């Protein structure tokens, strides 16, 4: 008893340390569910702690937002109508561009379909604001102001227009935690865009995103874009991840190389993110509509190029010789194609049939000498609207 | 008739805090720790929970209280980050115990002493976290950047001194 009283301080310390060491041992064992490595107890602790802190975070974020942007928002509102109109026009232009690009990708998708490749397209997203961080430079976790009530679920991908940010690690009622791609416990399936090498990108303790499962390959150069592969079932395929920043031998894992990836999204200064809440195997409805419009437009263009007579000869656009690049400064001329004259005329030869005024019902038709073609018709420039041109 | 009792110097200098202070100051430190890196990622070098752990430990001068305060704040810090729960908890438990033990032996109200204590314990925490990550968790890729940790200790010390001064007014002499 005296021993316990005398060394009670040290005993309490040892008890606390041993308890935490045991807790660590339980946590670092190989998880049954790779997608959710935390055990039930750990999840409860994280949930309670976040539940206590998150309301204060939201409140502080709201106050800070009002203080920082309250007046400027009022000033900006005066120009918002004009900006909205400009943005709508920009969206229209971008949708047309996207449709054109989608059309170019059609062939690739058909080939993928032949290979039974499962493609995922972003169907629905939820915009969220970042209201907090993990507060440490050893871990990289963001807290966002959307949770399960807004449809957020664990393991959903989080992106910005620049590139991927991370995945949802934990979800609460009105907040969620996002594990960034440069956190030591995160991982993503990626593809090096130029060399088409598949790899796994992980975060490091130094807060960098790194590919560490590839051996030395001279084809991989700094500056090569890195995109998501879709193989991790979290990030849809083809999203920008970043660019290769450096390649060096990995001293901790020989003979592998440490390929440091510079993230496309600025992970240190993120204010708004998009959470991908739904994917689908086909293009979204509006994108499909845009694609159909583009295809129809393309078909009309092809048909129009094959009907030169319907075009205005004064137009600057060449309607024939599509493969020949137009000479600068020279107006292209409209050339109407004519068949070569026959060597021996017969009753099918153009101009061999007598005029209708000389014909009688039931009478035998004797082929006549073909009418010589007018000299003017042989000249290249011709009014495309004349009846002859349409024969 | 007034009653008199004998107490040690340590017991005479022990200080207590009201429940709201003991509860909300660590929570405020955790909250600030989470929000400051949003303004600038450089703020992540700060460790406000460590500063608060040190303040309560050296003020109470009770190793058991220092251990439990450090463990609680550390576990909360772990719960808010992606590290396994116990990394910061173990480090801060040891820091709280050591700071409280030192606080009962030396005059920790002196500014110079507090500066040295904060600097030294900040470095000690970096070393403890390195050992836990590297040895207990087996993360071979975890490296210690000593210059960075030295800078962290200097910055934490500079920030800690005004915080200690402002929190001194919340103390209640026993």
SS (H, E, C) chain A: CHHHHHCHHHHHHHHHHHHHHHHHHHHHCCCCCCCCCCCHHHHHHHHHHHHHHHHHHHHHHHHHHHHHHHHHHHHHHCCHHHHHHHHHHHHHHHHHHHHHHHHHCHHHHHHHHHCCCCCCEEEEEEEEEEEEECCCCCCCEEEECCCHHHCCCCCCEEECCCCEEEEEEEECCCCEEEEECCCCCCEEEEEECCCCEEEEEEECCCCCEEEEEEECCCCCCCCCEEEECCCCCCCCCCCEEEEEEEEEECCCCCCEEEEEEEECCCCCCCCEEEEEEEEECCCCHHHHHHHHHHHHHHHHHHHHHHCHHHCCCCCCCCCCCCCCCCCCCCCCCCECCCCCCCCCCCCCCCCCCCCHHHCCCCCCCCCCCCCCCCHHHHCCECCCCCHHHHC
CA dist list (Å): A137 to A182, A192, B136 = 11, 28, 20
Q: How far is CA B86 from the centre of its chain?
A: 15
Task: For chain A, positions 9-68, list CB contacts with chain B under 8 A.
Answer: 9, 12-13, 16-17, 20-21, 23-24, 27-28, 42, 45-46, 48-50, 52-53, 56-57, 60-61
For residue B172, being part of any structural domain is answered with: no
Tokens 């664990």 identify what position?
Answer: A154
Q: Which residue of B has its CA nearest to A13?
A: B67
Mean pLDDT of B93-104: 91
Are A160 and A143 in contact by the 8 Å Cβ rule? The answer is no
What is the distance between the alpha carbons of residues A184 and A201, in angstroms, rounded to a whole number?
A: 10
For residue B63, being part of any structural domain is answered with: yes
For A255, other C-beta atoms within 10 Å of its C-beta total: 8
A269: chain B residues, CB-CB within 8 Å:
41
Instruction: Of A13, A46, A11, give the one whose Cα is nearest residue A27.
Output: A46
Residue B150: in which H helix or E strand, if any?
A: helix B146-168
Residue B16: in which H helix or E strand, if any?
A: strand B15-17
Mean pLDDT of B86-95: 93
Those residues whose C-beta lies under 8 Å from the C-beta of residue B58, and which sit 6 or more positions away, are: B99, B100, B102, B103, B108, B114, B117
pLDDT at B91: 94
For residue B47, being part of any structural domain is answered with: yes
pLDDT at A366: 63
Those residues whose C-beta lies under 8 Å from the C-beta of residue A367, and which sit 6 or more positions away, are: A345, A346, A347, A349, A352, A353
For B125, other C-beta atoms within 10 Å of its C-beta total: 25
Examine the pLDDT at B96 and tell me if it is beyond 90: yes
pLDDT at B144: 80
DSSP annotation of B137: S
Among the partner residues B37, B89, B142, nearest to A135 by beta-carbon distance: B37
CA dist list (Å): A348 to A344, A364, B66 = 11, 15, 111
Q: Which residue of B has its CA nearest to A138?
A: B83
Are B84 and A27 in contact by the 8 Å Cβ rule? The answer is yes
- Inter-chain contact B75–A268, Cβ cutoff 8 Å? no
Mean pLDDT of B144-157: 91
B145: chain A residues, CB-CB within 8 Å:
206
Among the partner residues B76, B82, B136, nearest to A21 by beta-carbon distance: B136
B52: chain A residues, CB-CB within 8 Å:
none
Could you tell me if B99 lies within 8 Å of chain A, comparing CB atoms? no
Radius of gyration of chain A (CA): 35
For residue B84, being part of any structural domain is answered with: yes
What is the distance between the alpha carbons of residues A247 and A211, in angstroms, rounded to a whole number?
A: 9
CATH of domain A122-282: 2.40.10.340
Tokens 């319907």 identify what position?
Answer: A310
B41: chain A residues, CB-CB within 8 Å:
137, 268-269
Task: For chain B, positions 124-163, list CB contacts with chain A under 8 A.
Answer: 129, 132-133, 136-143, 145
Cα distance from B92 to chain A (closest Cα, Å)?
Answer: 10
pLDDT at A372: 53
- Inter-chain contact A17–B133, Cβ cutoff 8 Å? no
Q: Give me the CATH number covering residue B114.
A: 1.10.1760
What value, to the nearest 5°, has the Cα angle with vertex A71 and ends A70 and A75?
A: 120
Task: For chain A, positions 214-243, list CB contacts with chain B under 8 A.
Answer: none
What is the distance between the alpha carbons of residues B137 and B132, in angstroms, rounded to a whole number?
A: 6
Domain region containing B51: 10-35+43-165
- Longest CA span, chain B: 68
pLDDT at A125: 85
Examine the pLDDT at B59 and tell me if it is beyond 50: yes
Bigger pLDDT: B5 vs A250? A250
Are B32 and B44 in contact by the 8 Å Cβ rule? The answer is no
Examine the pLDDT at B161 and tell me if it is beyond 80: yes
What value, to the nearest 5°, has the Cα angle with vertex B38 and ends B33 and B42?
A: 75
Report the number of distinct structural domains present in chain B.
1
Q: Pull the structure tokens for residue A232.
A: 């991790």
Least confidently predicted of A297-301, B68-72, B154-158: A297-301
State if pTM tops 0.90.
no
For residue B100, being part of any structural domain is answered with: yes
Cα distance from A215 to chain B (closest Cα, Å)?
Answer: 18
What is the distance between the alpha carbons of residues A146 and A88, in angstroms, rounded to a whole number?
A: 27
pLDDT at A379: 46
Residue B17: in which H helix or E strand, if any?
A: strand B15-17
Cα distance from B2 to chain A (closest Cα, Å)?
Answer: 30
Q: Which of A13, A19, A57 to mutate to test the interface with B (most CBs of B within 10 A)?
A: A13
Q: Pull the structure tokens for residue A290.
A: 């845009």
pLDDT at A384: 42
* Per-residue confidence in pLDDT tens, chain A, 391 aa: 777 778 888 899 999 999 999 888 887 765 555 555 667 777 778 878 887 888 888 888 778 777 777 777 777 777 787 788 888 888 877 876 776 676 667 666 666 655 555 556 677 888 888 888 888 888 889 999 888 888 899 989 999 888 899 999 888 888 899 999 998 888 899 999 888 889 999 988 888 899 988 888 888 889 999 999 888 888 888 889 999 998 988 877 778 888 999 999 888 888 889 898 887 766 666 667 776 777 777 777 777 766 655 555 554 544 444 444 454 544 555 556 666 777 777 777 767 777 777 777 777 666 555 555 554 444 444 444 444 433 3
pLDDT at A100: 63
Q: Which residue of B has its CA nearest to A21?
A: B86
- Inter-chain contact A24–B138, Cβ cutoff 8 Å? no
Task: For chain A, positions 168-207, list CB contacts with chain B under 8 A.
Answer: 169, 179, 183-185, 204-206
- Inter-chain contact B86–A132, Cβ cutoff 8 Å? no
Among the partner residues B35, B71, B139, nearest to A205 by beta-carbon distance: B139
Does residue A255 have a cis bond before it (omega within 30 degrees)?
yes
- Inter-chain contact B41–A268, Cβ cutoff 8 Å? yes
A139: chain B residues, CB-CB within 8 Å:
81-83
For residue B174, being part of any structural domain is answered with: no
pLDDT at B125: 94
Q: Could you tell me if the ipTM is greater than 0.90?
A: no
Give SS3 for B15. Answer: strand
Among the partner residues A53, A130, A185, nearest to B80 by beta-carbon distance: A53
Cα distance from B6 to chain A (closest Cα, Å)?
Answer: 19
Q: Which residue of A has its CA nearest to B41?
A: A268
pLDDT at A324: 47
What is the distance between the alpha carbons of residues A326 and A181, in angstroms, rounded to a whole number?
A: 50
For residue B173, being part of any structural domain is answered with: no
What is the distance between the alpha carbons of residues A226 and A216, in angstroms, rounded to a whole number?
A: 17
Cα distance from N-terminal residue to C-terminal residue, chain B: 21
pLDDT at A388: 42
């Amino acid at each position: 008893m005296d021993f316990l009283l005398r060394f009670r301080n040290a005993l309490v310390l040892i008890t606390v340390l041993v308890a935490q060491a045991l807790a660590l041992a339980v946590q670092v064992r190989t998880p049954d569910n790779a997608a959710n490595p935390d055990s039930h107890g750990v999840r409860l602790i994280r949930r309670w702690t976040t539940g206590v802190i998150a309301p204060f975070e939201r409140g502080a974020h709201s106050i800070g937002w009002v203080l920082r942007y309250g007046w400027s928002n009022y000033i900006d509102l005066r120009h918002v109508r004009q900006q909205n109109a400009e943005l709508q026009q920009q969206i229209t232009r971008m949708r047309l561009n996207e449709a054109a690009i989608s059309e170019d990708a059609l062939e690739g998708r058909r080939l993928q379909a032949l290979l039974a490749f499962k493609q995922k397209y972003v169907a629905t997203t939820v915009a969220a604001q970042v209201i907090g961080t993990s507060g440490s430079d050893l871990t990289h976790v963001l807290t966002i102001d959307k949770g399960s009530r807004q449809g957020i679920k664990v393991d959903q991908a989080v992106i910005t227009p620049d590139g991927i940010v991370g995945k949802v690690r934990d979800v609460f009622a009105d907040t969620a935690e996002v594990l960034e791609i440069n956190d030591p416990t995160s991982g993503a399936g990626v593809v090096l865009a130029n060399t088409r090498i598949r790899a796994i990108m992980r975060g490091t303790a130094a807060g960098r995103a790194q590919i560490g499962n590839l051996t030395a390959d001279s084809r991989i150069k700094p500056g090569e874009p890195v995109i998501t592969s879709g193989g991790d079932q979290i990030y849809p395929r083809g999203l920008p991840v970043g660019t290769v920043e450096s390649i060096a031998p990995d001293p901790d894992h020989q003979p592998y190389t440490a390929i440091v990836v510079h993230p496309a999204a600025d992970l240190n200064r993120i204010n708004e993110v998009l959470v991908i809440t739904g994917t689908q195997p086909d293009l979204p409805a509006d994108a499909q509509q845009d694609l159909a419009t583009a295809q129809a437009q393309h078909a009309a263009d092809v048909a129009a190029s094959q009907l030169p007579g319907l075009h205005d000869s004064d137009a600057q656009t060449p309607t024939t010789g599509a493969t020949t690049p137009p000479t600068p400064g020279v107006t292209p001329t409209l050339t109407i194609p004519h068949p070569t004259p026959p060597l021996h005329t017969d009753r099918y030869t153009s101009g061999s049939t007598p005029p209708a005024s000389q014909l009688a019902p039931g009478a035998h038709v004797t082929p006549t000498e073909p009418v010589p073609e007018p000299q003017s018709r042989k000249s290249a420039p011709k009014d495309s609207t004349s009846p002859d041109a349409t024969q | 008739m007034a009653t008199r009792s004998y107490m040690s110097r340590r017991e005479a200098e022990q200080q207590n805090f009201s429940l709201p202070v003991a509860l909300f100051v660590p929570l405020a430190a955790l909250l600030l720790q989470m929000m400051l890196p949003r303004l600038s990622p450089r703020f992540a070098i700060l460790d406000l929970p460590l500063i608060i752990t040190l303040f309560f430990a050296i003020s109470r001068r009770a190793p058991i209280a220092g251990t439990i305060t450090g463990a609680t704040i550390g576990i909360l810090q772990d719960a808010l980050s992606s590290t396994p729960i116990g990394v910061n908890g173990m480090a801060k438990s040891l820091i709280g115990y050591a700071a409280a033990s030192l606080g009962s032996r030396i005059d920790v109200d002196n500014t110079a002493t507090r500066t040295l204590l904060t600097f030294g314990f900040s470095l000690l925490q970096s070393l403890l976290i390195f050992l836990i990550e590297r040895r207990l968790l087996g993360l071979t890729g975890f490296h210690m950047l000593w210059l960075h940790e030295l800078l962290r200790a200097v910055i934490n010390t500079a920030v800690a001194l005004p915080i200690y001064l402002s929190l001194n007014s919340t103390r209640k002499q026993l």
